[in-house]
Chain A
């Protein structure tokens, strides 16, 4: 039980995040439409996201990302368009005599690419981020939030493994949406900084990958070091004793082992003598 104000309805959490998912999918469709994609491409990712939300698929959000990445790539390379690929496959069947489409439906030339980063792209990123967060949080309140403990022998999606929906307040949704522009802005700045990086001997793209890997690595190293320092500052007396004992053992383990084994052996031998 919690002392949090219990004014929320039992299923408020599910309702809040379902609504947020639907809104984010709508925004996503709008952003794709503004990017001048065809109707199938506009509806495909939101449809996948909606079905994933409806059936609480764990990998639903990643599926949406996959389709988005596919369609964005298809705008740059039209031959990757899903309908075009489907049509090509259908033509194979037509040639083999199983029937198929009689005319070309998709003309890759007409799928125009869009350069730069404008309001539709900003909207698309914000909608995708919002959908991701909302979908995972919806899974947390409706399926499970914890790593299941096999020793407890409880069902995977039991009530104890999920977050109580009544704990979700409307304020939580606002705090989720507020920092989204910050992440998008940082990412855009990162791209602007990264695109100017070049190396004489290494290909530009691979050099950017290397820089990015270093960036991530440094971030995690520094964060881990700071965390370790903070934890060491709060160490309890038992933990400190344990650490000291461990250090001593590692330093003198060989000598101690020799002595203690002799003592144990002598005791065992003494007992055997006494028994006989």
Chain B
């Protein structure tokens, strides 16, 4: 998806296009017309031909009038376009979407200006996490006070996350095709895509959304309480509520008898979901975090169906956000929303290479924020490349050594030719002039800043990002001179707009960038806090990527021991990379390279990675097995079944008590 060649090609083409349309909004047709008319006008005046002059001048006046009209429309009138968007299901407009379902999107553009736009074409941007299911995202026509443009299409949301509709691309042209202007009508609307509904057994539900809660009293504690199931009958004692008197039995026994009811035992389950960089790596919906969110959402809904209490703790490298166990529709929606928001996050690192980020960020900004990249408000001074910080490492810069020889040879040849043309001989003076020109050219080549274009792009993008993130007045200078900060801010800018970007997984030393060992301490602290607040019969499910952290698990193991000592249950669910075979108890065959060549090396690396993951998983399983804690991989339906099974076990414990 993000090969370097593709990025470069996209970037270069966007630059060509931007350069084309920046110059006076003229198309190639318009330029040709201008030059021809000016040429004939010159001929008409020089030859004093009145008919030709009037003919060509009237063409010129007509063209100038069209240009003026179009420029006013493009620069002034187009700003008054208003965008309205509605996402609906079968019953009407919705605020949240559901994964796996289709929704209709209706976009309407209106313009309240007397001049209007005589011709405009609109193209909607389908969000990155959605697919176009039916309909057309293109429309064209006039946009006037009494005429509007609209789009009607259907989208499908295959993955859980967030959908962000940026707005509509508005292309304008005059009827003749002389002028062209493209702008973007902003109308940002964001929707959550919630996971599909699941029932008490964790399977996708086919029932309607409400009435998820079955009648109360599914799991009971045989102690007197306020439940609905009858536990026992006893003699009436003063103070018992009259409504609990069993009148028929009282009549039979000739004394007042009171009914005693069972207690309801809610089972608490707290889900610790890893939202660190290590699980965010990969495409949206296809990364480890998406699977964790899916499992957590299913478990939450299944618990909610059984009226159990579910808590949530989202943690990453720096902090943990906890939501105390509770039940009810509002709590369920809150948990799902938090899970969705966590699932939409993308990885970020300050050590990422700048070049692809700048290229991608600038191409996206050209598309969505063309007004903020206008040269009159976002300048890139001519001296900038000489003082700008280098973006590419020196080893990746193209050498200019090959330019010196042509510069010298061409200068000398041209000097000799001119000399011959003027004096019919080649003199030493002429050659000296050629040599001087060659020296000037060589100096220019030597001192001309490399990456001049990249420096300008960096400045424009940094300005935009600084405004977008509301940085302090010195923020722009910081971004221009601090590569790490710029990389982080550009990643944040792309992530805010849900633009997928690729990051290298390993650093120059071959170390995995996203192991995030700091999260172990955060998780251990959060677990201890939950244990401190917890009641009996609690289940702690740790959805955490612990495969890459190696031997730094000690704080977590200590916290788990504390939890077990308090008679809680703990389960570890480890995310598993998609496409990698699941860990099994069978021994893994050794790596063999049968033949030399690229293909075999690739296979060998792949096999080594799989082997490493399997070994890490088995090691993790052994470490937790000593404590009696099961470890499962987040593949298939196994984790959901295991968690629900443990919940049932806790209920049985409650019944026996």
A interface with B by C-beta (< 8 Å): 1-4, 58-59, 62, 65, 68-69, 72-73, 76, 116-117, 121, 124-125, 128-129, 132-133, 136-137, 139-140, 144-147, 149-151, 160, 163-164, 167, 172, 179-180, 183-184, 186-188, 190-191, 194-195, 205-206, 208-209, 212, 219, 223, 227-228, 230-231, 234-236, 238-239, 241-243, 245-246, 248-250, 252-253, 256-257, 259-261, 263-264, 267
Contact = CB atoms under 8 A, between A and B. Distances in A.
A256 B477 contact: yes
Given A146-B180, A245-B476, A2 B148 contact: yes
Nearest to A147: B180
B62 to A, nearest CB: 5
Interface size class of B (residues with CB under 8 A): 35 or more
Nearest to B483: A264
Contacts of A136: 29, 175-178
B379 interface: yes
Given A245-B467, A246-B377, A4 B147 contact: yes
B50 interface: yes
Contacts of A145: 119, 173, 175, 177
Enumerate the 8 nearest inter-chain pairs by beta-carbon distance, A residue then B residue, closest first. Answer: A2-B141, A256-B477, A187-B57, A136-B176, A183-B58, A187-B58, A260-B481, A243-B377
A144 B119 CA distance: 13
B371 interface: yes
Contacts of A238: 372, 467-468
B653 interface: no
26 contacts: A2-B148, A3-B146, A4-B142, A62-B33, A65-B59, A73-B47, A117-B54, A132-B59, A139-B177, A147-B17, A150-B13, A150-B17, A151-B17, A194-B45, A205-B45, A234-B79, A235-B377, A242-B372, A246-B463, A249-B477, A257-B480, A260-B474, A260-B480, A260-B482, A264-B482, A264-B485
Contacts of B50: 116-117, 121, 191, 195
Contacts of A4: 141-142, 147
Contact of B42 (A73, A147, A163, A209): A209
A83 B147 CA distance: 54
A131 B65 CA distance: 17
B124 to A, nearest CB: 12
A62 B51 CA distance: 17
Nearest to B17: A149
Contact of A263 (B55, B64, B140, B482): B482
Contact of A1 (B46, B54, B68, B149): B149
B121 interface: yes
Interface of B: 10, 13-14, 16-17, 20-21, 27-29, 32-33, 36, 40-62, 64-65, 68, 71-72, 75-76, 79, 119, 121, 138-142, 146-152, 171, 173, 175-178, 180, 371-372, 374, 376-379, 381, 387, 389, 463-464, 466-468, 473-474, 476-478, 480-485
Contacts of B49: 72-73, 76
Contacts of A228: 376
Nearest to B476: A249
Contacts of B27: 147
Nearest to A116: B50
A246 B473 CA distance: 9
